[in-house]
Chains A and B, each alone.
Chain A
Amino acid sequence: MLKILKYSFFDLIRSRWSYVYFAFYLLLGVVLLFLNNDLSKAVITLMNVIIVLVPLIGTIFGVMYYYNSKEFTELLLAQPLKRSSIFLGQYLGVAMSLSMSLILGLGIPFVFYGLFKSNAIWDFSLLLITGTFLTFIFTALAFNIALSNDNKIKGFGYAILLWLLLAIIYDGVFLMSLIFFEDYPLDKLSLIGTMLNPIDLSRTLILLKLDISALLGYTGAIFKQFFGTSFGLIISFIMLIIWVILPVMRIMFKSRKKDF
Chain B
Amino acid sequence: MKKWGVIICAIFLAMTTHAQHIEVCSTCTISTLKEAINNAQRFDTITVKPGTYKEHNIIVDKPLIIKGENYPVIDGELKGEVFTIVSDSVTVDGLFIINVGTSYTEDYAALRVKNSKYFVIQNLVLEKLFFGIYLEKSNYGKVYHNKIIGNAVEEYNSGNGIQLWYSNHIEIEHNYVERVRDGIYLEFSDNCLIKNNVSANNVRYGLHFMFSNTDTYQDNTFENNGAGVAVMFSKHIKMFNNTFKENWGTASYGMLLKEINDSEIIGNTFEENTIGINIEGSNRITYRNNDFVKNGWAIKVRGACYTNTFTENNFLYNSFDIAYNSKVNDNVFDKNYWSNYTGYDLNKDGIGDIPYRPVKLYSYIVNRTPETIILLRSMFIDIIDFSEKVSPVFTPDNLLDNNPQTKRITW
Give chain A's interface residues, CB within 8 Å of chain B.
Answer: 40-41, 44, 47-48, 51-52, 167-169, 171-172, 174-175, 178-179, 182, 186-187, 189-191, 193-194, 200, 203-204, 206-207, 211-220
> Are A211 and B376 also in contact (CB < 8 A) when A168-B383, A179-B365, A187-B371 are?
yes
Give the dominant DSSP class at A's interface: helix
B371 partner residues in chain A, CB cutoff 8 A: 178, 182, 186-187, 189-190, 218, 220
Give 27 pairs: A residue, B residue, CB < 8 Å, sorted on A: A51-B379, A169-B380, A171-B379, A175-B381, A178-B369, A179-B368, A179-B369, A191-B374, A193-B374, A200-B375, A204-B374, A206-B377, A207-B377, A212-B248, A213-B248, A213-B272, A214-B295, A215-B374, A215-B376, A216-B274, A217-B250, A217-B274, A217-B275, A217-B296, A218-B370, A218-B371, A219-B250
Q: Is there an interface contact between A214 and B373, defined as CB atoms closer than 8 Å?
A: yes
B294 within 8 A of A: yes
Instruction: Contact check, B297 vs A214: say whether CB atoms are below 8 A apart.
Output: yes
Contact, CB under 8 Å: B294 / A213: yes
Does B273 count as interface, using CB distance less than 8 angstroms? yes
Q: Which of A41, A172, A191 has the most CB of B within 10 A?
A: A172
Partner of B320 from the list A51, A193, A214 (CB cut-off 8 Å) is A214
Question: A214-B274, A217-B275 known; A171 and B296 CB under 8 Å?
Answer: no
Cβ-closest chain A residue relative to B276? A213
A211: chain B residues within 8 A (beta carbon): 296, 319, 376-377
Known: A171-B378, A171-B380. A216 touches B372 (CB 8 A): no
A171 with B381: CB separation less than 8 A: yes
Whether B165 is near chain A, meaning CB under 8 Å from some CB there, is no
Given A179-B365, A179-B369, A213-B295, check contact A172 B380 (CB 8 Å).
yes
Q: Which of B271-303 contact A (CB under 8 A)?
A: 272-275, 294-297
| B317 interface residue per 8 A CB criterion | yes
Chain A residues with Cβ below 8 Å from B249 are 216
Does B339 make an interface contact (CB < 8 A)?
yes
Instruction: Give the most central of A48, A51, A194, A217: most B CB within 10 Å.
Output: A217
Residues of chain B from 374 to 399 with CB closer than 8 A to chain A in the complex: 374-383
Determine the chain A residues whose CB is within 8 A of the CB of B274 once the complex forms: 213-214, 216-217
Most buried by A among B370, B373, B374, B375: B374
Other-chain contact of B317, A40, A172, A193, A206 (Cβ < 8 Å) = A40
Q: Which residues of A contact B381 (CB under 8 A)?
A: 171, 175
Which residues does chain B contribute within 8 Å of A214, judged by CB atoms? 274, 295-297, 319-320, 373, 376
Q: Decide: A175 and B375 in contact? CB cutoff 8 A.
A: yes
CB closest chain-B residue, reference A169: B380
Chain B proximity of A55: nearest CB distance (Å)? 11
The answer to whether B317 and A168 touch across the interface, beta carbons within 8 angstroms, is no
Which of chain B's residues have a CB closer than 8 A to the CB of A215?
Answer: 296, 373-374, 376
Kindly list 17 other residue pairs between chains A and B, CB separation below 8 angstroms, not including A168-B380, A194-B374, A213-B274. Answer: A41-B339, A48-B379, A51-B379, A171-B381, A172-B380, A178-B375, A179-B369, A182-B371, A207-B377, A213-B272, A214-B295, A215-B373, A215-B374, A216-B249, A217-B297, A217-B373, A219-B250
User: Would you give the shortest CB distance from A217 to chain B, in whole angstroms?
Assistant: 5
A172 — nearest CB in chain B belongs to which residue? B380
Report the bound CA distance from A47 to B317 in whole Å.
Answer: 14
Find out whether the CB atom of B272 lies under 8 angstroms from the CB atom of A175: no
In the complex formed, the residue of B with least CB distance to A174 is: B375
Q: Known contacts A179-B365, A213-B295, A216-B274; is A41 also within 8 Å of B317 by CB?
A: yes
Q: Contact check, A182 vs B373: say whether CB atoms are below 8 A apart.
A: no
Tell me, in angstroms, the Cα distance from A169 to B365 when the chains sit together.
Answer: 17
Write out the residue numbers on chain B whose beta carbons fall within 8 Å of the beta carbon of A204. Answer: 374
Nearest Cβ on chain A to B212's Cβ, whole angstroms: 28
Please name all residues of chain A whose beta carbon is closer than 8 Å to the beta carbon of B377 when the two chains form the complex: 47-48, 203, 206-207, 211
